[in-house]
Structure formats: structure tokens, C-alpha cells
Structure 1
Amino acid sequence: MIKVLLVDDHTILRDGLKQILADTDDIQAVDEAADGHEAIRKIQALALDAVIMDMSMPGRSGLELLKQIKLEKPKLPVLILSMHSEEQYAVRAYRAGAAGYLTKDSASTLLVSAIRKVANGGIFISPNSAERMAQEFNLARQADNLPHTSLSNREFQVFHLLVNGKGLTEIANQLSLSVKTVSTHKTHILQKMHMTNTSELIRYAMKRDLL
């Protein structure tokens, strides 16, 4: 039996995932967590075969939580379940130690096979994006000097929200941060990317398909 922990701050989504897994005879959702702190406690306490985790967690980012999980349990596979497309976040997720990346809109058809693969030591990349992901990995290796690659994971998260039209207050509410902290992140992003305003960030993101 493959024992998994579900980590997502939305009860409805966790219930939906449990319903999908209830139809299998070899995967069991043994517990769930609504935030990063609860997830770490349960990962430390439970014998698990895999963790299914949302990328967009309140407070700390999913990538930060992923790194902490890999420090606590280096061999525990983590499958990222995200609303963001693979080309936006998957490369960073795999670099941080994820065993798989799956968008939420494909979870109903691919979740079970993805869990089985990562629990058995494999790496899951969705069939529809395998070629694109290979291109992204190659580009990432060749383009480590591009401005956005210098951003920390939290800065990249704020950058992504900024270029998709979110205001500072909206970003602060979504990430459970203060407006001042988000403003500081924005300042650092502009400095690191040698830009002066959000419009330049948006043009940069459009040119590199980061929206």
C-alpha cells in the first residue's frame, strides 16, 4: 500500500483528491495538512511513501516547504500539484527536489499514475509537456545568466504575481505577508533584474513566456 500525505490549504481540494484515491486499491491518503508547519510535523511523525503538495501555500512558498521536506526526509518523494503550468514553475520545482509536477486541471486523469511512479522511485513529467520540459531544462542550463534566474524562490513567486497584474495588497493577502514585505521583494526584484518598474517586468515576462 502506498501511503501518502495530502498538503493543501483548501479543504475542498483535499476532499477531491481523497475521492480520486478512494477508487484505487493500492494508494491510501493516511493524513492531510493545511499548511507547511502542520505538514512538517506529520512528515516527521508518519511513515509515508509520498507527499502530494500544493505549490501555492499561504505564508512560505511551496518551494521553500519542498526544500525543508527534502532536508527532513531526503528520500521521501514529493509530487507537486499546482495551478501554474509546467513551463512557469516545474523547472524550479525539480531543481528543489520534486519527484513530479502535475497541474491541478489534469489531476483527475494523471494523479494516480503520477503517485505510483514517484513512490516507486521514478520522476513524473506529464506526457503532454515532456518535450517542452526537456526544452526548458536545456534553456535553464544555458541561461543561468538571465535576470529572472537570479531571483530567490519567494522573489520569483512575487515576480510571477506582479507580471500577472496583481497589486501589492492582493499579493500580500495571497501569500500571507505584509504589504511592506511584498514591497521590499518588489524592490529587490527590480534591482536584481536591472529594471525600474512593473511595466518592464511585464514586457520581460511576455518575451520569455513567463506569464
Structure 2
Amino acid sequence: MKSAGDEVSVRKILVVDDHTLVRRGVIRILEQSRDLEVSCDETGQAQEALRLVTGGNYDLVLLDIALPGVNGLDLLKSLHRAAPRLPIIILSMYPEDQYAIRCFTQGAAGYLAKDSAPEDLVAAVRKVLSGGRYVSGGLVEHLAGHLAAGPAHTVISHEDLTDREFVVLRLSGAGKSPAQIAGELFLSVKTVNTYRARVMSKLGLKSNAEVISYAIKHNLST
């Protein structure tokens, strides 16, 4: 507990997640941490998050990558454009070896799985607030293995897809129809079919069943 005479720098954090219990749990963990002094706002909506980031003076955003009705990668890009210097830590239920690299390339300062321990959340926030980037040990191992493959690693995989192609692959793998995907991504059905055709061509898949099978095999269908 800090005394009244101590200089306290309260850091302002925005927690963005559509589940109230998750938001409140994250805030509680941060507020109870002995070495963090934070003031947290929260929202469960993408547009509200953009409004708050544009009008607020936040030190950090904790962002759920899977908000309903919006492509999480697109939201990350929008937040980064609105406040280029504002660090963003991604909170996700998706495997970090599938999403983290894409998030980092779009400006994220950290990536944390939702099943991480509370102390990992505190460590990530502390690291990013101090100006660093948070990368888990598991992701470091994945990157090391990827680099160890060297120049021979030339097989096209989902990691080589564009962000939009990757999202269409994931949603297709979850069993969603082109119409459902179009509605979720605010695209036309024709455009969705074009992206799906590109995915199938790049990955050498010949049917929708193979798309679903590929997504399940690589843990992309959740």
C-alpha cells in the first residue's frame, strides 16, 4: 500500500470485451495488483471503444479480438489508426500461434490467451506500460521453430494468407455459410466467395468439406 506522500502515477486503461464477467474480472485483477496503480474504463462494443479511444487519454487498451459483429483484426487496425502511439494488448481465446503474429503485424503490443494466469495478465500490462512488448514463452517457441525451418519452409499455409482470407477461412471452418460470413464482415456474398476461392487455391483445397477439415485440424474453427 502506498502512503499519501508517495508520487503515484495512475495509468488509465480501457478494457474492451463483450462479456461483462470477463471485463470485471480483468479490472479486479489489475486493481488488486500491488505494483500497478490503474484507473479502468470498460465497454463491450467496438464503436464505443473507438469513440473512447478517440476522445480519451488512455495509456493502454486490453482488447478482445472476437467481439461480435466485427472483424477483430479490422478493429485493431482502426484503433491503431485512431491512436498510433496507444499500446494495445490482445485478449483472445484463439491459439496464439494462429493469431498472435497477425496481431503484432497490425500494431498490437502484446497477445494474451484468456486462459492465462492472473500473474501473466499483470506481467503483460506491466511490460507494455513500461514501453515493451509482451510475448509469451509459448509464442517464442513457435517463432523459433518457424525460423528454424529456414528457406526450405516454402509450403503455403494459412499463415501466408491475407488477414481477410484468414478470417474467411476461420469462419468457413466454423460452418458458416457465405451469406452468414458476408453479414458478419459487412461484405457481399460475391466478395466472400472470391476470398474463399483464393483460400482454396492457395491451400490446395478442393471442396468446402476440405476447408472445414483444414480449419479443424489447425484449431481455426473456434
Give 1 or 2: higher helix fraction.
1
- The answer to whether 1:20 aligns with 2:29 is yes
Bigger Cα displacement from structure 2, 141-150 vs 33-42: 141-150
Larger Rg: 2
Instruction: Report the equivalent of 1:117.
Output: 127
Contact 1:57/1:175, CA 8 A, preserved across alignment: no
Q: Please, which runs of 5 or more residues in structure 2 have no aligned partner?
A: 1-9
Instruction: Report the equivalent of 2:80.
Output: 70
Q: How much has 1:23 moved relative to structure 2?
A: 0.4
Contact 1:4/1:29, CA 8 A, preserved across alignment: yes
Instruction: Choose the corresponding residue for 1:43, options 28, 40, 53.
Output: 53
- Give the letter aligned to residue 175 of structure 2: K
Bigger Cα displacement from structure 2, 132-141 vs 1-10: 132-141
- Residue by residue, what CA displacement relative to the aligned partner does 1:101-124 show, whole Å, maximum 9, x if unpaired? 000000523111101101111110
Instruction: Report the equivalent of 2:11.
Output: 2
Instruction: Report the equivalent of 2:7.
Output: none
Alignment of 1:128-139 (within 5 A): 128-136=138-146
- Residue by residue, what CA displacement relative to the aligned partner does 1:9-45 show, whole Å, maximum 9, x if unpaired? 1212111111212202524243112222111110111
- The answer to whether 1:59 aligns with 2:66 is no
SS of the residue corresponding to residue 116 of structure 2 reads helix
Contact 1:86/1:133, CA 8 A, preserved across alignment: no
Contact 2:90/2:112, CA 8 A, preserved across alignment: yes
Bigger Cα displacement from structure 2, 153-162 vs 113-122: 153-162
Contact 1:168/1:179, CA 8 A, preserved across alignment: no
Q: How much has 1:127 moved relative to structure 2?
A: 2.8
Instruction: Report the equivalent of 2:207.
Output: 197
Contact 2:171/2:181, CA 8 A, preserved across alignment: no
SS of the residue corresponding to residue 98 of structure 1 reads coil
Q: How many residues get paired? A: 209
Q: How much has 1:205 moved relative to structure 2?
A: 4.8
Q: How much has 1:185 moved relative to structure 2?
A: 4.5
Normalising by structure 2, what TM-score? 0.77
Q: How much has 1:178 moved relative to structure 2?
A: 8.0
Note closer, same or farther for the CA distance 1:131–1:16 as it changes in structure 2 (3 Å cut). Answer: same
Note closer, same or farther for the CA distance 1:190–1:173 as it changes in structure 2 (3 Å cut). Answer: closer
CA–CA separation in structure 2 for the residues paired with 1:141 and 1:4:
41
Q: How much has 1:167 moved relative to structure 2?
A: 3.2
Q: Please, which runs of 5 or more residues in structure 1 have no aligned partner?
A: none
Note closer, same or farther for the CA distance 1:122–1:191 as it changes in structure 2 (3 Å cut). Answer: same
SS of the residue corresponding to residue 175 of structure 2 reads coil
* Percent of aligned positions that are identical: 36
Contact 1:4/1:48, CA 8 A, preserved across alignment: yes
Moved over 6 A (4+): 137-142
CA–CA separation in structure 2 for the residues paired with 1:136 and 1:121:
26
Q: How much has 1:184 moved relative to structure 2?
A: 5.8
CA–CA separation in structure 2 for the residues paired with 1:197 and 1:168:
13
